[in-house]
Amino acid sequence: MQQPSQHPKIESARGMATLMIAHCAGMLDLVALPLWVGTLIAYYRLNPQQAGTLPTLFLIGASLSSVFFASRFNRVNARWAAVPGFAIAALAFALCYGQTSMSTLAPLHFAGGLAAGTALSFTHGTIGRALNPHRVFAWAGLAIGIFGIVFLGGTPGLLARFGGATLFIGFAAIMALAAVMGVLSFPRPSRQDDEQREGSSARAQPLSRAVWYSIVGIALLAMTQAMTLSFYERIGIARGFGRELVTLALVLYGIVTLFPAPLAGLLEKRIKATTVISIGPIMQAVFAMIVTHTWSYLLFAASGALMAFTILFTHTFAFGLLARLDPTGRAVAATPAMLMVGAAVAPFLGGTLVKFIGFGAIGYAAIALVAIELLLFNLTRLAARDESPLEQVPAV
């Protein structure tokens, strides 16, 4: 067994590669939701509400485990929490293969979410202990963009050829790869020694108002994204665009996800994080309305891709801001909870709206959520001016 000193640093090639793969596996829902829900409807013959329930159970499990472990991040070995988490998630998805009943798929999705959420909490907590968390998270965002292109471009063809159950084998393979990489190269925190010299008092301090406003705002940001994305594929099919053009739109979605995180990394010192999080949600509402109401394929494809750009660009700045506001790593370790609490409710909420009202209701719900996001993120901006810990925070 490797000693901690033998583990690579976060900024090393091995450490970065491991965290990038772990981020892709843990944030699987960000890329897979349209195919996840669409596959359950098309191949498993579930109605929209039922199809939204299974990803919701996965995300609820991930949220609960993230909430539990975020406050315990500094007390648990991150490597030996992340590795079993990804391994158990891989097993849960593998067991979904060949199953068709909700009574079997539901607990497996929930168990997979608990495991993946644990792994992702310690992955993000470790990124938060990098020398420059904003930059490392930007690289992780680039990785998920590349992953999105491969996954969204290749999976529809595999599903058409081998059946809907192939989706779960793909999920299991991604989780298993993250587990193997974690065993081999999960990195040690770069800033651990500095914080140990500072003592444990800083870690015991409660989170500031600015952090809490951001946490709730990010959860709603994720809810808006997931609510629209969950039914993106189904909206395209219902509008009569056809399977090939909808797949092309998903590939475009994946391609666009390559750019926001690296761009956010380049602009880290040029744009205030609080400015980005106070403006970004407005674009999210605009694109959600276009996706759910347009009959133009060009507007549909462009708006879906730009929704992805908006959340990834905004969240990269939000992650870097949280890492600076709370250097103990607790806030960023709760990132899965922030993202998945919102995203967990979204497929079920979206499915219910579609079932009883129609796709257009998702757009109006997005506007309501964005209004609350803007309030919270502007409260973050104001609190960031007033709270003393922020006086030493650059680019806020």
CATH number at residue 136: 1.20.1250.20
Q: How many domains does the chain have?
A: 1
Percent of the chain with pLDDT over 90: 33
Domain that holds residue 217: 8-190+207-384
For 217-273, the pLDDT digits (tens) are: 988 998 999 889 888 988 999 999 988 899 899 888 888 888 888 888 888 888 888
Is there a domain that residue 21 lies in? yes
Is there a domain that residue 394 lies in? no
Q: What does the pLDDT average to over 49-67?
A: 87
- Contact between residue 121 and residue 64 where contact means Cβ atoms under 8 Å apart: no
Residue 358: exposure state from Cβ atoms within 10 A (0-12, 13-18, ≥19): exposed
Is there a domain that residue 305 lies in? yes
Nearest Cα residue to 11 out of 137, 141, 180: 137
For 299-326, the pLDDT digits (tens) are: 999 999 999 899 889 988 888 888 787 7
Residue 88: which pLDDT band, with cuts at 50, 70 and 90? very high
Is there a domain that residue 199 lies in? no
Is there a domain that residue 129 lies in? yes
CA–CA dist 226, 58 (Å, integer): 13
For 266-292, the pLDDT digits (tens) are: 888 888 888 898 888 999 999 999 999
- Contact between residue 314 and residue 277 where contact means Cβ atoms under 8 Å apart: yes
Is there a domain that residue 146 lies in? yes
Is there a domain that residue 393 lies in? no
Residue 192: which pLDDT band, with cuts at 50, 70 and 90? low
Is there a domain that residue 1 lies in? no
Residue 4: which pLDDT band, with cuts at 50, 70 and 90? low
**Which pTM value belongs to this model?**
0.74
